[in-house]
Structure 1
Amino acid sequence: MPWFAKIEEGIVEKATFDQYVPAHKAYVQDLIDKGHQAKSGYWARRGGGMLIFQANSRSEAEAIVAQDPLVQNHCVKYELYEWCVVVE
Structure 2
Amino acid sequence: MPWYIKTEQFRGPAQDMREHLAAHRRWVRQQRQQGQVMVSGYLVDGHGQPGGGGLLILQADTYGAALALVQQDPMILSGCVDWRLQGWTPVVGDLSLLPQQSLL
| Aligned residue in 2 for 1:48 | 53
Report the CA distance shift for 1:29/1:56 in structure 2 as closer, same or farther (over 3 A): same
* TM-superposition CA deviations, 1:38-86 (whole Å, max 9, x none): 1111111122110111111100100011100010000101110111022
Q: Which runs of 4+ in 1 moved over 4 A?
A: none
Structure 1 residue 33 displacement after superposition: 1.7
| Aligned-residue CA RMSD (Å) | 1.2
Structure 2 portions without partners, runs of 5+: 46-50, 95-104
Between 1 and 2, higher relative CO (CA 8 Å, sep ≥ 6) is seen in 1
When normalised by structure 1's length, the TM-score is 0.90
Alignment partner for residue 79 of structure 1, among 63, 84, 87? Answer: 84
**For the residues of structure 2 that align with 1:83 and 1:31, how far apart are their CA atoms?**
20
Structure 1 portions without partners, runs of 5+: none
* Higher-Rg member (1/2): 2
When normalised by structure 2's length, the TM-score is 0.78
Aligned residues: 88
